[in-house]
Amino acid sequence: MEAFTRHKGLVAPLDRANVDTDMIIPKQFLKSIKRTGFGPNLFDELRYLDQGEPGQDCLNRPINPDFPLNKARYKGASILLTRKNFGCGSSREHAPWALEDYGFNVIVAPSYADIFYNNCFKNGILPVILEEYEIEDLFIEVEKIPSFQLDVDLVSQTIITDSAKEYNFELDEFRKDCLIDGLDEIGLTLQHADLVKKYEEHRENRHPWVFGAIK
């Protein structure tokens, strides 16, 4: 995973609460056994007017002109501004894979569904949480100001707008460190392999039925 410290980019608004992972990447694209290539089908049902199928050439599909990502002013956006409970529903990691593949590095919302939030960090995406009124302010600015950008600094946990407003955000120390260092989390856990083995022996003594049942 690539390290993430600071990101400045164009903001695209998705003014909708409870955006679920079926909406982010519909199920027909979950048949793939790869991690990449989901970007063209991000928000497929909202973005295109026809029915999406895997393997289509998306460049020739009829697009929904009303969908924000299809508007010229939001082309090349790398920051998604959206509403509460983003990423609810299924645990599919294909959702952050699709967002990342499309080119989003940062999401800004008042809240996220737990599994989706977790999945973002595994894929170098920073899901920023701001207060509802701050989100409201940003929606107004992104609508008003052409080419509205945000400068997101993970190290200092701040966002600075083009209009020089500053917002602070919170996140867990561990998640922050993993993003900043681009750490291999499996490698990190394996550094504690001795502890895990010790725990496992202890557990097998106490609850032996948990071990060996499935062969």
Partner 1 sequence: MRAKTLYDKLWDEHLVKENPDGSSVLYIDRHVLHEVTSPQAFEGLRLAGRLPWRLDTNIATPDHNISTDRNERSAGVSGIPDLVSRIQVKTLDENCDQFGIKEFKMNEMGQGIVHVMGPELGATMPGMTVVCGDSHTATHGALGCLAHGIGTSEVEHVLATQCLVTKKMKNMRVTVHGVLGCGVTPKDVILAIIGRIGTAGGNGHAIEFAGSVFRDMSIEGRMTVCNMAIEAGARVGLVAVDDKTISYCKGRQFIPKGKLWVDASSYWQTLVSDSDAVFDLEVVIDAADIEPQVTWGTSPEMVAPVTALVPDPLDEAEEDRRKGFTRALEYMGLQGGTPITSINVDRVFIGSCTNSRIEDIREAALVVDGHKVANSVKQVLVVPGSQMVKAQAEAEGLDKIFEKAGMDWREPGCSMCLAMNADKLGVGEHCASTSNRNFEGRQGTGGRTHLMSPAMAAAAAVAGHIVDVRDWLPRGEN
Residues of this chain that interact with partner 1 (CB under 8 A) are 16-18, 20, 22-23, 26-28, 30-35, 45, 51-52, 54-55, 83-85, 88-93, 96, 111, 113-115, 118-119, 122-123, 172-175, 185-186, 188-190, 192-193, 195-196, 199-200, 203, 207-215
Max CA separation in the chain (angstroms): 65
Nearer to partner 1, 160 or 183 (CB): 183
Nearer to partner 1, 35 or 75 (CB): 35
CA 211, CA 21: separation in Å to the nearest integer? 35
* In the complex, least distance from residue 104 CB atom to partner 1, rounded to whole angstroms: 17
Q: What sections of the chain are H helices per DSSP?
A: 21-24, 44-47, 94-102, 114-121, 132-144, 173-181, 185-190, 193-206
Nearer to partner 1, 2 or 172 (CB): 172
- Report how far apart, in Å, the C-alpha atoms of 122 and of each of 1, 6, 39, 74, 166 are: 8, 17, 17, 26, 27
Stated as kind and residue range, the H or E segment containing 106 is: strand 106-109
Nearer to partner 1, 76 or 211 (CB): 211
* In the complex, least distance from residue 200 CB atom to partner 1, rounded to whole angstroms: 7
* In the complex, least distance from residue 13 CB atom to partner 1, rounded to whole angstroms: 14
